[in-house]
Amino acid sequence: AATGVAAVLLASLAILAPSARGLNRGEFPTGFLFGAATSAYQVEGAYLEDGKGLSNWDVFTHTHSGDIDDGRNGDVADDHYHRYMEDVEIMHNLGVNSYRFSISWARILPRGKLGGINSAGIAFYDHLIDALLQKGIEPFVTLHHFDLPYELETRYGSWLGAGIREEFDHYADVCFQAFGDRVKFWTTFNEPNLFTKFAYMLGAYPPKRCSPPFGNCHSGNSQQEPYIAAHNILMSHAAAVDNYKKNYQAKQGGLIGIVISMKFYEPLTNSTEDIVAAQRALSFEIHWFLDPIFFGEYPKEMREMLSSNLPEFTPAEKMLLQNRVDFIGVNHYTAIYAKDCISSPCELNTYEGNALVFATGEKDGVRIGKPTALGGFYDVPEGMEQVIKYVNQRYENVTIYVTENGYSEYNNNNMEDMTNDTGRVNYLEGYLSCISSAIRGGAKVRGYFVWSLMDNFEWRFGFTVRFGLYHVDFVTQQRTPKKSAKWYRDFLTGSGPMG
Ligand code: LGS
């Protein structure tokens, strides 16, 4: 399955010719989805309105405000729940033909299966979807983007208890039934590979659990937890896909996939150890979820390192996994160097620690790309082409949507400065050029979503960083287009300097 993997890894980013930047919308296939993305907790606000239940993130931000950089929360966020009509108008002006958003599970089923459907929650998404379609904007919907009803967190530890599988299956079914006549693009989970690490290994996201030696919540939790949570997520995903394929797809004609967070790892040196380490990092990042979905097994590298800490699939689970996804969503923000931590010791406190890899943005004092506000995230557009090629080769030329890609800046509370975001313009232009090049190389990329439509609540960074094409004043809720929004609109409409 991994044909060509070594070749991809050996093609150092440093020696790749920079992509031509003469970017034009016409280079992309007809029907290509160009959009922007958000998620429910990050933009909606209205956290206790119209029958919504408390979510795990509502409770986490209220009880652990010290874990959020500015101590704030998403109670109001962008107030999108009340301003969605204005936001749809903004998207229309921007010229996007798709919008990626997530549904708040706690708005639809405040107590999970127990308490019934909240019709006001259904009505909100009905209105949003209808408003989008009226403007010719295709809804691209995520079912789980980190938030779930708090009651399910207390009952199952979120993803630790197998009972959550039935809950997700029910929630997905309610959504297919309510919205599937109009929604043609579904994804089950956003970045389960990232949030299981943050939630069950590093103690940074709810339910704030750690696996020794990682994280700083020494609660003695077991090393198995991230992998148990992932296993339950994979099976919840598989059940929802099975249901959609059996009961909805023929009638509704939509597609279903899953979104994985994908850094690209470049070996720090030419040593065999570092080359193998970069492969191992990719395995723990990408193969962890996609190998079971495509090949019915966890990757060999993970099994060798984790042995019985990694669950096994039962024959029944393997059967269920055989339902193929229609596409893979790729969230890609950065490439980074990987250094082996097996043959020589290094500090294991980063995201890649469980793969015994140390990730670093520097090689011989030279950075891999221009740094962004998020530590460890650099502007390395060639990494996008590499990650797409990699997924294309390993997973049978699967259809790909780039579901997130974006540039962060520190919020300095100076609107003039924040809207003059040339760094973001360069970033987006570079990454889009590399997607275009990957398509020319044969990859089936069919859509691209900028993270994010507008500045919003950035999880543990709170409001300290801004990712939006639109600046949001969180006091007045005024949205203002940044230079990048104007650039994107010019690119999309074929007018202006990019035309
Ligand atoms: O807001 C999120 C964006 C922004 O940057 C979105 O909800 C997520 O799906 C996604 O993870 N996003 C994202 N990822 C790159 C940075 C991840 C944070 C890791 C911090 C490590 C120090």
Which of 225, 410, 233 has its CA nearest to residue 321? 233
Compute the distance from residue 317 Cα to the ligand 1 centre, in Å: 30
Compute the distance from residue 38 Cα to the ligand 1 centre, in Å: 11
Whether the model pTM is above 0.80? yes
Quote the DSSP letter at residue 287: I
Q: Is the CB of 375 under 6 A from ligand 1?
A: yes
Compute the distance from residue 319 Cα to the ligand 1 centre, in Å: 32
Q: Is the CB of 195 under 6 A from ligand 1?
A: no
- Cite the active site residues: 191, 404
Compute the distance from residue 405 Cα to the ligand 1 centre, in Å: 10
Q: Is the CB of 376 under 6 A from ligand 1?
A: yes
Q: Beta strand pairing status for 138-144 and 335-340?
A: unpaired
Which of 347, 341, 416, 333 has its CA nearest to residue 380? 333
- Contact indicator for 338, 353 with CB cutoff of 8 Å: no
The residue contributing the CA closest to ligand 1 atom 20 is 374
Q: Is the CB of 460 under 6 A from ligand 1?
A: no
Q: Is the CB of 373 under 6 A from ligand 1?
A: no
Q: Is the CB of 467 under 6 A from ligand 1?
A: yes
pLDDT in 10s for each residue of the chain, 499 residues:
333 444 444 444 433 333 345 799 999 999 999 999 999 999 999 999 999 999 999 999 999 999 999 999 999 999 999 999 999 999 999 999 999 999 999 999 999 999 999 999 999 999 999 999 999 999 999 999 999 999 999 999 999 999 999 999 999 999 999 999 999 999 999 999 999 999 999 999 999 999 888 877 656 678 899 999 999 999 999 999 999 999 999 999 999 999 999 999 999 999 999 999 999 999 999 999 999 999 999 999 999 999 999 999 999 999 999 878 999 999 999 999 999 999 998 988 789 999 999 999 999 999 999 999 999 999 999 999 999 999 999 999 999 999 999 999 999 999 999 999 999 999 999 999 999 999 999 999 999 999 999 999 999 999 999 999 999 999 999 999 999 999 999 999 987 554 3
* Ligand 1 atom closest to the CA of 198, numbered from 1: 19
The residue contributing the CA closest to ligand 1 atom 2 is 458
Torsion sign (Cα): 374, 379, 383, 384? positive
* Ligand 1 atom closest to the CA of 333, numbered from 1: 15
- Ligand 1 pocket test: which of 80, 104, 191, 466 has the largest number of ligand atoms within 8 Å of its C-beta? 191
Which of 418, 462, 234, 427 has its CA nearest to residue 332? 427
- Ligand 1 pocket test: which of 146, 190, 194 has the largest number of ligand atoms within 8 Å of its C-beta? 194
